[in-house]
Structure 1
Amino acid sequence: MATVEEFAHAGASIVAERRGSGTPLYVLVHGIGMGRSVFDDLAHHLRDGEVIMLDLPGYGEAPEPRRVLTIERTADLVAAYLRARVGRPAVVIGHSMGAQIALEVAVRHPRVAERIVLVGPTVDPAARSAPRQLWRLLRDIAIESPRVIARGAREYVRAGPHLRAKFRAMLVHRPEDVLARAGVPALVLRGEHDLVAPPQWCRRIADTLPDGRLREVPGHGHETMIRDASSAARLIREFAREG
């Protein structure tokens, strides 16, 4: 049975959907223009523990904040929710822009995240501009299934009129500047054909993290956790239970 709750902190709100119980505790953080619904399949495959899926401020069912949050402030909000409503360390899994948030949670709130998983992480410094990021995303989407395209389009519409400002907040964040400060085990996960998070960028992330490792999901692109998430979930489960 799932429970859904809204949590407000410092002028912004998230919506959290909780499923299952026990350990590990998985916290799923979506990417730009998305919402928690894109994680339905992944959550199904992570039934070995409790899963919390988030709608970030202004996405999914979460209300628009008065001002678009930075990546750092969004990480602070996620950490505040986990401290107030959960009270135990989590495996924080971020997809795309969500990987930037998961990274900042580990850097800024190390007691909240015991491990992090960065799936299709943005923003590659070699393409830190809106046109380059959009071009990579459009090329990646072109090879995805109609189901992924339809779900993504629906969530982008729900993301509201401030999507450009949200995109800008993603682009100005520099994950490469804080990677070395993430003192928890980290898994960098990319789809074999991911054009948004190319292999050289993901390798750089894994090598810069103090305790990082890189894995690829064969036959998938950037939306590896949306279209048939079983392979990604298997790698995440193995990582979460490492000694």
Structure 2
Amino acid sequence: MTDLPPHRAWGPSDAPPVLALHCSLSHAGEWSALSALLSGVRLVAADQPGHGHQPDWDGQSDLHAQAVREAAAAAGMLGSPVDVIGHSFGATVALRLALERPDLVKRLVLVEPVLFAAAEGDPAFVAFQSRNAQLPRLIAAGGAEAAAAAFYADWGGGADFASLPAGLRAYMVARIAIIPAQNGVLVQDEAALLAAGRLEGLRCPVLLVEGTASPPVVAAIQTTLARRLPDARRECVDGAGHMLPVTHAAALAPLVAAHLA
């Protein structure tokens, strides 16, 4: 696996691999808590483009498309088809990978996928759009830290942004422009993930997981995906927010294990 991007791996080297794709403003270490609770698999998590030990985003390239290309290459190196678990942005990458390269994906676990376009028409989408629109305005006005704090208030682990370690705050502030840059794919569906018949044609089993304390737009997204995917099961983790792979790994682990069994 020397050709993989910077990554971390947990579990026996001869165990079946599971490719794990983290959320925006995070890194591969996001999966450490879950990995400690899964047995019989080797969890391989690569840093997404622009994150962790990857080069900084150049401000222009399509990070979502790049992330899909890198995930496809990783799946091939791990011995496709491979099981894939993704969280938030990473879950949308996992879904796009399965749609574009079904030969590479055996089973999917989508934790809080932020394919916001799937919620269009739901009142929760309007509320999301109002909050989301403030980020590019704040960034353009030189308020990257304020934008990161606003983003974290909705999508973080529940703590106040100001209470986070200084290094973590700086890491998020430095990358906050990545968030509105994904609107084309995640909000306008420029990759046509929701095109007529496309989700319906996905044949691999899909586990959809969300937290009951997540922003309401997540439930609206999951409702659409559960309705349109032909082999999907939906699970809710009581009391969990958007960062449930970190905060509620103990509740997520048995759901993942059962799906991969």
So what's the TM-score if we normalise by structure 2?
0.75
**1:15 to 2:15 alignment:** no
Cα deviation, residue 108, structure 1: 1.1
Letter in 1 for 2:9: R
2:153–2:160 CA contact under 8 A, matched in 1: no
Residue aligning to 1:90? 82
Distance 1:121 1:29, change over 3 A: same
Distance 1:140 1:65, change over 3 A: closer
Q: Which runs of 5+ in 2 are unaligned?
A: 136-149
Q: Spell out, residue by residue over 1:150-169, the C-alpha distance to the aligned partner (whole angstroms, 9 max, x if none).
A: 37646524637655435555
Aligned-residue Cα RMSD (Å) equals 3.0
Residue aligning to 2:254? 234
Residue aligning to 2:141? none
Cα deviation, residue 198, structure 1: 3.1
Residue aligning to 1:69? 62
Cα deviation, residue 171, structure 1: 3.5
1:100–1:122 CA contact under 8 A, matched in 2: yes
Distance 1:56 1:43 in 2: 18
**1:38 to 2:30 alignment:** yes
Residue aligning to 2:41? 49
Tell me the secondary structure at the aligned position of residue 39 of structure 2: coil
Residue aligning to 1:138? 153
Which of these residues, 216, 219, 239, is aligned with residue 219 of structure 1?
Answer: 239
Distance 1:38 1:158, change over 3 A: farther
So what's the TM-score if we normalise by structure 1?
0.80
Letter in 2 for 1:165: A
Q: Spell out, residue by residue over 1:161-198, the C-alpha distance to the aligned partner (whole angstroms, 9 max, x if none).
A: 65543555544435433422322110110011111643
**1:176 to 2:194 alignment:** yes
Q: Spell out, residue by residue over 1:188-230, the C-alpha distance to the aligned partner (whole angstroms, 9 max, x if none).
A: 1001111164323212111111211100011101111011311
Task: Note the 1:142-157 alignment, pairs <5 A.
Answer: 144-145=158-159, 150=164, 153=169, 155-157=171-173
Distance 1:170 1:198, change over 3 A: closer
Tell me the secondary structure at the aligned position of residue 258 of structure 2: helix
Distance 1:33 1:213, change over 3 A: same
Tell me the secondary structure at the aligned position of residue 24 of structure 2: coil
Q: Which runs of 5+ in 1 are unaligned?
A: 8-13
Distance 1:168 1:153 in 2: 26
Letter in 1 for 2:29: S
Structure with the largest fraction of helix: 2
Q: Percent identity?
A: 22
1:34–1:60 CA contact under 8 A, matched in 2: yes
Distance 1:153 1:171 in 2: 25
Q: Spell out, residue by residue over 1:32-64, the C-alpha distance to the aligned partner (whole angstroms, 9 max, x if none).
A: 222112221112112321100110111011113
Cα deviation, residue 68, structure 1: 2.5
Distance 2:179 2:3 in 1: 21
1:35–1:59 CA contact under 8 A, matched in 2: yes
Residue aligning to 1:198? 218
Q: Over alpha carbons, which structure has the higher Rg?
A: 2
Letter in 2 for 1:78: A
Distance 2:230 2:46 in 1: 27
Cα deviation, residue 73, structure 1: 3.8
Aligned length: 229
